[in-house]
């Protein structure tokens, strides 16, 4: 077994920052429920509200628009299901959701639930070959299937978790707003890698563990004119949108991570782009038919996430490559960790027009804080042998199927 693992799966989760550990530890040593009225409770409330203000400033929204949740999945569910329920109740004609075909399953699965159980209709906005959703494509989708008056919510993620494409969110939101339609964007992958201003969307989502924060805590930003129907009921915390005892230590750690991500975004992106480009250029230099998914040009951090390298390898299965690289001490992914272990081609690549056979040979390599040149070099050193063995296995499997 290798003596060390080179971690190239920061999109799945990233190591907790030391300063976040310190903040969380200090908060955990204090007792107090932020809903209690006594002195310890008020002290916990102070930590929560100061954290809310820090998060709001970093995300460029008002503190009253910050709703603390357990993470990205809960935030997306509340935004999609809650907004659909509220808008449909106010106007039964609004039974349609307009959603990009490359969303994370935290958005797609709630949409599928609404279609199956709540009578919703969905219009998918397909991306181009780079995974980009154009404002004109969104406008066409809003106009289809009964027109804008039937739409409860439009949703396009800020940056894709698989291929790293950054979307023109301000322009997309403007298209939705022309028709009075609330716009939701999952910005989980964008925070810390591109400039982020969640005031341009009605409902935005970030989470802690993608930026060096704690697991199990995230944020839904909901404009003051947004009133999603809550998914949970109880104590009425967080504008009555998300009842439950507030995780004071987690919230404090989240705020520390969000502020750090916003303050260091530019320098962090430059550092990651250098490593990403070396990784991509080294893989392409093998002249082995490897292709890059999504937009890419050296040094670019505006169209593609700085830390994302997504490669398609012909005549090989992504899962085989993943396990062979793992045995060589390289931790990477074939796509979304939430779908790991499911032997099917990525819906993102299929939506981009990639043939299913080619989509099965995908590798996602993502960098984050702590990533070094040594990580890239280790991957490039291990790749040729992994390719050879994966292709042998693919050829043998194809012969058996034939």
183-186 vs 151-155, strand pairing mode: parallel
Distances in Å between the alpha carbon of 95 and those of 120, 238, 398? 5, 27, 45
The reply to whether 338 belongs to the active site is yes
DSSP H or E segment with residue 316 = none
Q: For 108-121, give the DSSP string.
A: HHHHHHHHHHS--E
Torsion angle defined by CA atoms of residues 300, 75, 113 and 356, in that order, rounded to the nearest 10 degrees: 20
Residue located via tokens 């960790």: 337
Burial of 274 (0-12, 13-18, 19+ CB in 10 A): middle
295: CB partners within 8 A, 6+ apart: 130, 131, 132, 165, 303, 304
Secondary structure E strands in 258-402: 291-292, 308-312, 330-331, 362-366
> In the beta sheet, which residues pair with residue 153?
97
Cα 47 from chain centroid (whole Å): 27
Choosing from 139, 231, 331, 338, the catalytic residue is 338
Q: Residues with catalytic annotation? A: 338
């Amino acid at each position: 077994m290798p003596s060390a693992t080179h971690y190239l799966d920061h999109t799945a989760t990233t190591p907790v920052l030391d300063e976040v550990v310190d903040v969380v530890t200090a908060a955990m040593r204090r007792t107090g429920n932020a809903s209690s009225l006594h002195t310890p409770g008020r002290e916990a409330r102070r930590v929560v509200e100061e954290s809310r203000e820090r998060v709001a400033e970093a995300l460029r929204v008002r503190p009253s628009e910050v709703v603390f949740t357990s993470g990205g999945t809960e935030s997306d569910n509340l935004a999609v299901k809650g907004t659909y329920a509220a808008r449909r109740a106010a106007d039964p004609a609004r039974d349609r959701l307009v959603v990009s075909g490359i969303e994370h399953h935290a958005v797609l699965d709630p949409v599928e639930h609404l279609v199956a159980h709540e009578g919703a209709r969905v219009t998918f906005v397909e991306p181009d070959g780079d995974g980009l959703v154009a404002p004109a494509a969104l406008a066409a989708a809003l106009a289809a299937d009964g027109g804008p008056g039937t739409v409860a919510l439009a949703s396009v993620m800020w940056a894709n978790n698989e291929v790293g494409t950054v979307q023109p969110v301000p322009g997309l939101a403007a298209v939705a707003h022309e028709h009075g339609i609330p716009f939701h964007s999952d910005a989980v992958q964008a925070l810390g890698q591109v400039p982020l201003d969640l005031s341009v969307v009605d409902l935005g989502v970030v989470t802690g563990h993608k930026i060096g924060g704690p697991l199990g805590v995230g944020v839904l930003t909901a404009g003051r004119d947004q009133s999603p129907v809550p998914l949970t009921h109880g104590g009425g915390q967080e504008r009555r949108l998300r009842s439950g005892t507030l995780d004071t230590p987690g919230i404090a750690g989240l705020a520390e991570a969000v502020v750090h991500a916003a303050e260091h975004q530019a320098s962090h992106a430059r550092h990651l782009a250098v490593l990403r480009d070396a990784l991509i250029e080294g893989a392409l230099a093998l002249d082995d038919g490897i292709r890059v998914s999504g937009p890419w040009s050296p040094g670019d951090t505006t169209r593609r996430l700085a830390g994302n390298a997504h490669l398609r390898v012909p005549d090989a299965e992504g899962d085989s490559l993943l396990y062979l690289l793992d045995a060589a001490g390289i931790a990477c992914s074939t796509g979304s960790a939430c779908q790991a272990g499911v032997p099917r081609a990525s819906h993102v690549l299929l939506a981009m027009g990639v043939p299913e056979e080619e989509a099965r040979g995908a590798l996602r390599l993502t960098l984050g804080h702590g990533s070094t040149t040594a990580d890239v070099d280790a991957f490039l050193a291990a790749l040729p042998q992994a390719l050879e063995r994966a292709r042998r296995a693919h050829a043998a499997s194809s012969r058996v199927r034939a």
